[in-house]
Homo-oligomer: A and B are copies of this chain.
């Protein structure tokens, strides 16, 4: 199982949204908050391109880098308010107990991602971040790299994410996509982006693991 991080395991999407809003306002770009929300989870480069297209502004590579750094700074300032989503830690523990390999793949950069893992009490080696692949979501690279790290076939993997970018990346990777409502997208949007099933949050997913055909490994590697 390959998880997205923000909005999927930790309740951080709205903080990211408002951090982007602050960063954009800092360079004189006033953008409606919902437009920022709808782009969260995609590659930062694509994100900035998409927003600039909507505003008609042009920024140079240096200004774009400054903008991304300002976003990370504003996000980390709000980190004290970021909590694990209900059931996230329990779900990951249960997968480990069942012998199901799992990893986390995020379009976010390493600094934000490590801060998020800290909220979950997880070690850095479970995550693949933006810096480790050529293209972030909706390209499939992050999930392909996460599957490779676990030494599992991507076509046998389930991708769990809260945004349409996760589900589009899952389709491009030929993995099965499962949506969570906990990032603020609606059920229908996630289904239309290819979600096989949609659950509320990690706790709700754990209650329905049987719907994904997940069975206990009869010979878990730890036993």
Contact = CB atoms under 8 A, between A and B. Distances in A.
Contact of A188 (B32, B33, B188): B188
Contacts of A98: none
Given A14-B14, A18-B18, A34 B188 contact: no
A183 B183 CA distance: 15
A26 interface: no
Contact of A85 (B17, B32, B83): B32
A183 B34 contact: yes
A220 interface: no
Interface string A11-26: 1011001100100000
Per DSSP, chain A at the interface is: helix
A184 interface: yes
A47 interface: no
B184 A34 contact: yes
Indicate how many identical chains form the complex: 2
A160 to B, nearest CB: 15
A182 interface: yes
A201 interface: yes
Interface of A: 7, 11, 13-14, 17-18, 21, 30, 32-34, 37, 81, 83, 85-86, 181-189, 192, 201
30 contacts: A11-B32, A11-B33, A11-B34, A13-B33, A13-B34, A14-B14, A14-B17, A14-B18, A14-B33, A14-B37, A18-B18, A21-B81, A30-B83, A32-B85, A32-B86, A32-B182, A32-B201, A33-B184, A34-B181, A34-B182, A34-B183, A34-B184, A185-B186, A186-B186, A186-B188, A186-B189, A187-B189, A188-B188, A188-B189, A188-B192
